């Protein structure tokens, strides 16, 4: 498998297995494991849950939606839509990655669950050129094996949603606005798939 192809698949969240290692390449560890790694990581894991940060995030989302022309247009801008696909819910959240939480948007549609980072991330090509791209994850609803709600036992306000795919890849979402309602939409979408 070529490096550029591997990079593209990692960025879009496609399940990738490295031929020589036979280990999933884009497997993400859970937030609890990441917090134990180092103090700097635990500082990265602290999500701003105060009122002013929540308001800033909601205003930012609203401004972006207005600029593009609606929530569905934002979704269409970032992802291709299948015929008959309908957007059910959009929420701001963080995706747990090996380098720390990544702020972005969670889209729940009748065909897929998708995440797109708010800001671009730097990646380097084989030639050494730097590209700035949005980090995207697309999980078809039919590929979701399970979803779990968890919370930090020491800090119950820190809640997480774990999505496990059929090929045992784990995706951890945290800092989800309207956590319970978003999880209900996820359950509804998966049950209808």
Q: What does the pLDDT profile of the chain (193 residues) look like in tens digits?
A: 444 443 344 444 433 333 333 333 333 444 444 433 333 334 334 554 567 776 776 677 677 777 878 878 889 988 999 999 999 999 989 999 988 899 999 999 999 999 999 888 898 999 999 999 999 999 999 999 999 999 888 988 889 999 999 999 999 999 998 899 999 999 999 999 8
Determine contact, residues 88/109, Cβ cutoff 8 Å.
yes
The string of DSSP codes covering 38-55 is: -HHHHHHH----SHHHHH
CA triple 137-139-144, angle to 5 deg: 140
Q: Which residues on neighbouring strands pair with residue 44, listed in sequence order?
A: none
Q: Give, in words, the CATH class of 3-192.
A: mainly beta
Domain boundaries, the chain: 3-192
* Beta strand 100-109 pairing with 170-174: unpaired
Determine contact, residues 25/18, Cβ cutoff 8 Å.
yes
């Amino acid at each position: 498998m070529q490096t550029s192809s591997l990079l593209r698949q990692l960025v879009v969240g496609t399940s990738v297995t490295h031929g020589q290692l036979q280990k999933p390449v884009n497997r993400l560890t859970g937030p609890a494991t990441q917090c134990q790694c180092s103090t700097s990581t635990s500082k990265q894991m602290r999500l701003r849950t105060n009122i002013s940060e929540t308001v800033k995030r909601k205003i930012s989302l609203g401004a972006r939606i207005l600029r593009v022309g609606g929530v569905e247009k934002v979704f269409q801008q970032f992802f291709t839509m299948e015929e008959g696909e309908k957007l059910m819910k959009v929420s701001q959240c963080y995706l747990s990655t090996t380098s720390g939480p990544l702020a972005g948007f969670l889209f729940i549609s009748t065909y897929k669950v998708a995440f797109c980072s708010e800001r671009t991330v730097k990646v380097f090509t084989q030639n050494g050129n730097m590209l700035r791209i949005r980090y995207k994850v697309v999980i078809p609803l039919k590929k979701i094996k399970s979803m779990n709600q968890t919370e930090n036992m020491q800090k119950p306000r820190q809640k997480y949603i774990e999505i496990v795919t059929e090929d045992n890849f784990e995706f951890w979402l945290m800092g989800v606005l309207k956590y319970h309602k978003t999880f209900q939409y996820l359950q509804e979408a998966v049950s209808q798939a």
